[in-house]
């Protein structure tokens, strides 16, 4: 029994006031302003002119230029997610089977790049994939020949996978930690092959981890800015870099706002689904 429902703990609510104030001013207000801006009329000479129009949203769904950008973003996001699953899940599984000191050493090597600025990591990739870079040197050595990789979807996806992989490994690793290793041994003792044991016993148990990791990766990849900005060049635009251009180059703020609103809503849907997945699994486990 740890019930402390006394009137005194009710008064604790005021402790959240400073944060609430900050979030109201710095989060809710600007987001509402942007939502309103996305319905403003726009005039190339005078900028946002107030009024109410759905024309920006209409343009996004009808104009092939924007559709292509959204489709490209979707495609890059999906491929990144798929690659993160294909690399991250086996890696987490291998890590979880390592002996004591190596396990945490390699886990840290895989996860710590999270803490290094994304600009630095992207810059590293632009050097690795450059026309005179080590990857091209390797390609030449094995006879593929020099390949232009910068400013291609391949470069963007490579860097995205690098940045997102930790977000895939973390939930799968967590799910694997909760797994009873004897369950897999039990499957083996019944004569299941190693592969069958993984597919029939391990995989179903870590599925929620894979699912939530995949959703996080997709959400982050689809809204990524610095990587397509630096590795995609001017032609290979994604949603985030388009918003940047609308705001800072085209100066069509209402259009930029409309794209940003769509990005935000899509992202919230993906992330809340992820939350649901985890929540449901949690409730089921509690019985």
Q: Under the criterion CB under 8 A, does residue 139 sit at the interface with other proteins?
A: no
Which is closer to other proteins, CB of 60 or CB of 240?
Answer: 240
> CA-to-CA distance for 106 and 82, rounded, in angstroms?
22
Any contact of residue 84 with other proteins (CB under 8 A)? no
Which segment (49-57, 70-78, 205-213, 240-248) binds other proteins by CB under 8 A? 240-248
State the sign of the Cα–Cα–Cα–Cα dihedral 147, 151, 156, 162: positive
Examine residue 13 and tell whether it contacts other proteins (CB under 8 A): yes
In the complex with other proteins, which residue's Cβ is closer, 124 or 154?
A: 124
Q: Does 61 bind other proteins (CB under 8 A)?
A: no
Does position 87 bind other proteins by CB under 8 A? yes
Q: Is 209 in the site for other proteins (CB under 8 A)?
A: no
Which neighbouring-strand residues pair with 43? 47
DSSP 204-261: HHHHHHHHHHHHHHHHHHHT--HHHHHHSTTTS--HHHHHHHHHHTS--HHHHHHHHH
The single residue among 23, 58, 193, 279 that binds other proteins, judged by CB under 8 A, is 23
* Backbone dihedral angles phi then psi of residue 228, each to the nearest 5 degrees: -65, -30
Residue 69 touches other proteins, criterion: CB under 8 A: no
What's the distance, CA 64 to chain centroid? 25
What's the rounded Cα separation, in Å, for the pair 103 and 66?
Answer: 45
Candidate list 91, 160, 218, 252; residue touching other proteins; CB under 8 A: 91
Triad 268, 174, 266: Cα angle to 5°: 10
Least distance to other proteins from the beta carbon of 48, Å? 9
256 binds other proteins (CB under 8 A): yes
Q: Which stretch binds other proteins (CB under 8 A): 50-58, 68-76, 204-212, 238-246?
A: 238-246
277 binds other proteins (CB under 8 A): no
Residue 121 binding other proteins, by CB under 8 A: yes
| Residue entry with tokens 């597919």 | 199
Residue ranges of E strands in the chain: 42-43, 47-48
Nearer residue to other proteins within complex by CB, 69 or 257: 257
- Nearest approach in angstroms of CB 157 to other proteins is 13
What residues between 92 and 111 interact with other proteins by CB under 8 A? 94-95, 97-99, 104, 106-111
64 or 267: CB nearest other proteins? 267
Q: How far apart are CA 223 and CA 266, in angstroms?
A: 10
First-to-final CA distance of the chain: 21
Site string for other proteins, 165-184 (x = CB under 8 A): xx---x--xx------x--x
* 3-class secondary-structure state, position 29: helix
């Amino acid at each position: 029994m740890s019930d402390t429902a006394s009137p005194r703990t009710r008064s604790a609510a005021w402790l959240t006031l400073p944060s609430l104030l900050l979030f109201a001013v710095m989060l809710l207000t600007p987001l509402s302003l942007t939502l309103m801006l996305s319905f403003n009329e726009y005039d190339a000479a005078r900028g946002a002119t107030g009024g109410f129009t759905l024309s920006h949203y209409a343009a996004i769904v009808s104009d092939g230029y924007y559709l292509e950008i959204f489709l490209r973003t979707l495609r890059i996001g999906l491929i990144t997610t798929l690659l993160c699953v294909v690399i991250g899940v086996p890696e987490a599984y291998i890590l979880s089977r390592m002996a004591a000191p190596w396990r945490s050493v390699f886990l840290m090597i895989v996860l710590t790049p999270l803490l290094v600025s994304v600009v630095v990591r992207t810059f590293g990739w632009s050097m690795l994939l450059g026309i005179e870079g080590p990857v091209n040197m390797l390609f030449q050595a094995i006879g593929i020949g020099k390949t232009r990789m910068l400013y291609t979807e391949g470069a963007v996806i490579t860097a995205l996978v690098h940045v997102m992989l930790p977000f895939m490994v973390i939930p799968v690793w967590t799910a694997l930690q909760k797994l009873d290793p004897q369950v897999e041994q039990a499957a083996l003792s019944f004569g299941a092959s190693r592969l069958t044991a993984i597919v029939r016993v391990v995989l179903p148990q870590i599925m929620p981890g894979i699912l939530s990791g995949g959703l996080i990766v997709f959400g982050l990849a689809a809204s990524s800015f610095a990587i397509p900005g630096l590795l995609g060049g001017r032609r290979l635009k994604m949603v985030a870099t388009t918003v940047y251009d609308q705001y800072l180059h085209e100066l069509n703020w209402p259009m930029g706002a409309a794209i940003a609103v769509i990005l935000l809503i899509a992202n919230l849907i993906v992330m809340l689904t992820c939350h649901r997945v985890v929540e449901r699994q949690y409730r089921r486990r509690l019985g």
